[in-house]
Amino acid sequence: MTTSDKTVICNFLAYLYEEGCFNREYGNPKDLFEEIVRPIPFFYLGNMYAKGIGVSKNIKKALNYYESAVNIGHKEAMYELYSIYDSNTEFENKEEALKWLKAIAEIDNSFQAELAYRLIDGIGCTCSEQNDNQAFELLKKASQSGDKDVIHNLAFLYEKGRGCEVNYEKAKELFEKASFPSSLMFLGDMYENGLGVPKDIKKALEYYEAAYSAGHQGAIYYLFDIYDSDTEYGNKEDALKWLKTIEKIDNSFQAEFAYRLIDGIGCTCSEQNDGQAFELLKKASQSGNKTAIHNMAWLYKKGRGCDINYQKAKELFEEASRPHSFYHLGDMYENGLGVTKDMEKAIEYYKIGAEKGSESAINRLQELNENV
């Protein structure tokens, strides 16, 4: 019996068993595999242990059989080894996964791009100039297929000068060709910062908005930042619009959004906005955010978005302990807001606030000294 014949038999037995067609009276297929031919069945024995077919599932044994299969020339086993080391919960090992991915990429060009990404990102290896150079060459070859993802990543290397000299012109050309949401982000960044092109905030905004429309959530942070602070394109109404969008996906911005609603930054102060700010700050304060807790206390003190509640305001100002929290505590004791008037305590709180940098506390102490 030739090796080819034995391989056919192994393939056929594996197929019958995996399809549930194997007649049990002929015995366990595992035993037949080992008896009929060695070492051809290693790959299929690996499959049986990996999937628990006719044997107890045992990934460690599966790995051993797959490695034996590779050692005798069974290239398909490399894909199984890569898959297990890359994603199996118990046996995940990114270094081993990269080793097998390198072996696969030598015989299968469709894996060159994946290997390049891992070399760039340091997945299973340390980021290095040598790895960047290898990734660059791999992506140059892979990009010839027209794969947009590959073209985008090659553009990234040109833009960052990794594995090659910085080449903004080439990066721009390839980002435009790829037209991925993240490609549009990079183009926006190039125009925002004048990287290889004249600085053009208007074009940057157009690219960021296009990236967001194409599904890149990160673009909203850039849009907010430009509209919030750019000297030429600053627009508090648009900034608030994007901040509102950010707040829906990023809880860490709830307090900032609430603060703007309260102070009328990019909007008109209103009872509706106060109510929304109050609800936002209630959520944000649950994470222990001291700024959110302070602002929540202020709303209780002023009765904005809620009924006045001096007891709750005092409790939250004490918890927040921000410089300005001490000013408000001083004000409450000076004016008897929910507490017995106590000028000594008021001055004590003003002094703490002043020491911590509260301008209001500093000014109030000066006023009190002038009136003595």
DSSP-assigned letters across all residues of 144-187: GGT-HHHHHHHHHHHHHTSSS---HHHHHHHHHHH--HHHHHHH
Residue type at 344 in one-letter notation:
E
Asked if the structure places residue 301 within a domain, the reply is yes
Counts of helices then strands in the chain (DSSP H, E): 21, 0
Asked if the structure places residue 168 within a domain, the reply is no
- Among residues 314, 332, 347, the one where a domain terminates is 314
352 with 309, same domain? no
To the nearest 10°, report the CA torsion of 243, 244, 245, 249: 90
In this predicted structure, the answer to whether residue 16 has a pLDDT above a threshold of 70 is no
- Among residues 282, 314, 346, the one where a domain terminates is 314
To the nearest 10°, report the CA torsion of 250, 253, 255, 256: -160
Domain that includes residue 367, residue range: 322-371
Asked if the structure places residue 55 within a domain, the reply is no
> How many domains are contained in the chain?
2
CB 128: neighbour CB atoms within 10 A?
A: 11
303 with 330, same domain? no
What confidence tier does 28 reach under pLDDT thresholds 50, 70, 90?
Answer: low
In this predicted structure, the answer to whether residue 31 has a pLDDT above a threshold of 80 is no
282 with 309, same domain? yes
302 with 341, same domain? no
Structure tokens that stand for 233 in this block: 């394109």
Asked if the structure places residue 260 within a domain, the reply is yes
* Mean pLDDT calculated for residue range 101-112: 95
CA-to-CA separations, 273 to 121, 266, 322, in angstroms, rounded: 44, 12, 24
Task: Report the C-alpha gap between 233 and 231 in whole angstroms.
Answer: 6
* Mean pLDDT calculated for residue range 326-336: 98
Asked if the structure places residue 51 within a domain, the reply is no
- Among residues 295, 314, 333, the one where a domain terminates is 314
What confidence tier does 3 reach under pLDDT thresholds 50, 70, 90?
Answer: low
To the nearest 10°, report the CA torsion of 166, 168, 172, 178: 0
In this predicted structure, the answer to whether residue 34 has a pLDDT above a threshold of 70 is no
CB 368: neighbour CB atoms within 10 A?
A: 15
* Mean pLDDT calculated for residue range 242-257: 95
Structure tokens that stand for 340 in this block: 């017995």
256 with 308, same domain? yes
276 with 299, same domain? yes
Average pLDDT, the chain: 91
In this predicted structure, the answer to whether residue 39 has a pLDDT above a threshold of 50 is no
pLDDT score recorded for residue 177? 97
What distance lies between CA 50 and its chain's CA centroid?
A: 32
pLDDT score recorded for residue 41? 74
**Is the dihedral angle over the CA atoms 187, 193, 199, 202 positive or is it negative?**
positive
pLDDT score recorded for residue 138? 96
What confidence tier does 23 reach under pLDDT thresholds 50, 70, 90?
Answer: low
Residue 309, sorted as left (phi over 0), alpha (psi -120 to 50) or beta, turns out to be beta
279 with 303, same domain? yes
SS3 73: coil
In this predicted structure, the answer to whether residue 157 has a pLDDT above a threshold of 90 is yes
In this predicted structure, the answer to whether residue 339 has a pLDDT above a threshold of 80 is yes
- DSSP annotation of 72: T
Asked if the structure places residue 226 within a domain, the reply is no
In this predicted structure, the answer to whether residue 227 has a pLDDT above a threshold of 90 is yes
* Mean pLDDT calculated for residue range 35-47: 70
Asked if the structure places residue 209 within a domain, the reply is no
In this predicted structure, the answer to whether residue 4 has a pLDDT above a threshold of 60 is no
Q: At what angle do helices 76-87 and 59-71 cross, to 10 degrees?
A: 150
Asked if the structure places residue 305 within a domain, the reply is yes
